[in-house]
Structure 1
Amino acid sequence: MLIRISGKRFPEAFLAVLLFLCCRLHGQSGTQGTVSVTVADATGGVVPAASLELTALDTNITRKAATEGTGAFSFVNLPIGTYRLNVSSPGFSTTRVDTVIVHASQVTPVAVVLQIGSTNDTVNVSAVATPLLDVSSNSLGAVIDLKAIEVLPIVGRDLTSLARLTAGYAGSQDTNGSQIGVWNGQPLTNQGVNIDGVVGAASRGKYNGNVQAAASPRVENIAEMSVQSDQIDLDQGFGRSTMQLSYVTRSGTNAFHGRVYVDTRNSGLFANTYANNAAGVRRAK
């Protein structure tokens, strides 16, 4: 089928691709993070119009901006990863923060204090201290990073189980032995899940909750998962959830890299049963 637009004929498939790309780009919110920068001088006074340069270490993609009249600026919609921040202003030495870590659906605050000097001089800050109290967001939740995903034991390779490590979860088993639970007392129908910003709900009607993704992501493909269990941000939940679980898949970098893995499950590798061990009976061959 062909559709005529402005005197030209476009295949319907082409329009479908455009719609998909628009939805895909819109859906990236929720799997990206924010860096909130505040710049001050040694006396504590704000520094407006300070030049900011934020560079992703894995891809060298750079974003530039300037602080506003309050001496602050927020870089939004950032892919997860590690960044480097350069801050400069006339009359001050350039300050470079080597390690700024961005997590999905999280705000990373960076407070920079400029020292009087030449912009040709550089002051290096190896890392930014994480504040004990996050005042940049009122959402409740946690980030489960790659190390936890790779190291923690996961029964049945179900990443959803790691979401139960966050505060506010209370669960039990149903009559079939399946794990069911809620966060902060919210009903099951208020749970949501997305993968790379795309809704991945297992049930369209949301009758039994949506934390379990319809297509379960492989452990090897996930770089990070974040959980917002209450007071979620405006870019979370798609207007249908008060608890949101977001998966972020691995992305490419400047260097060629890859992984090789195999799943092996053989009864010969199983441990002996508890009853046999208690009775001193060796495991059957």
Structure 2
Amino acid sequence: MAHKIKIEENAYLNVEDIGEGQPVVFLHGWPANNKMFEYQAQHVVENGYRYIGIDHRGFGLSDTTASGYDYNSIADDIQKVITELKLKNYIIVGFSVGGALSLKYASKYNNPNLQKMILLGPAGPSFVQRDDYPYGMKANEVTDLVNAISDDHPKAITDFGEVFFSSNTNVSNAYKDYFNRLTLTSSLIGTVKLAESLRDEDLRKDVNTIDLPVYGIHGTDDAVCPIQFSEELEKTMPNYQLTRVSDAGHALFFEKKQKINDLLIEFLAK
């Protein structure tokens, strides 16, 4: 079933709720929506878990708002879903910016009902290069991407998709076309503003406050969120456990879906 969760006056999130058992909350990447996890949703439900897939504001079937795309506001959105659905003993799975949002949420709320997190190619602690942090894109490169999206949304996202998949995996053109269409269902406002948040947010202080098991799964060929992101998290978070997936790009959820699905069930059960 799908829930409509109110986040502000006349604005609602779309939340997919499938199966029974321990709830697993999935946070999607930019600029997709929760449907990107359909292979993971099928697998966790078949293994006795409850899939909770949130479309962030401005993405998927959620409403588009004029503002509220900073990490702090989206963490509040996530908590509203947790509260509305009365989730207990839940687990969060976050991909890319969803991984960064997972970290922000855990740091801000420190919810005792959050048991653990699993991060797939997380876009944190910072998506862009900073002082003492030479990894990822440069801030001005993200600004150029934002300007390109504002000028020609389909072309900019299609061009960006060229680095999404690893050349070492055999992903069909049909799936690449499908995923590209999926991302283009997102609003222009949401796509631009969340990209700006990726550029501007820095979680290096936030992650030091997180005291729960965090399992990182990262592709060694990730050209969007380099594996150094997870290696930095491993250095600074005592409970961060990194699993490297060889020959996987940023789209490891599809490129290596059997491996990822097996790891998900392994970590969910720990």
TM-score category of the 2 structures, normalised to the smaller one: under 0.3
Is the radius of gyration larger for structure 1 or structure 2?
1
Bigger RCO of structures 1 and 2 (CA < 8 A, at least 6 apart): 2
* TM-score, structure 2 normalization: 0.24
* TM-score, structure 1 normalization: 0.23
**Which has more helix, going by share of residues?**
2
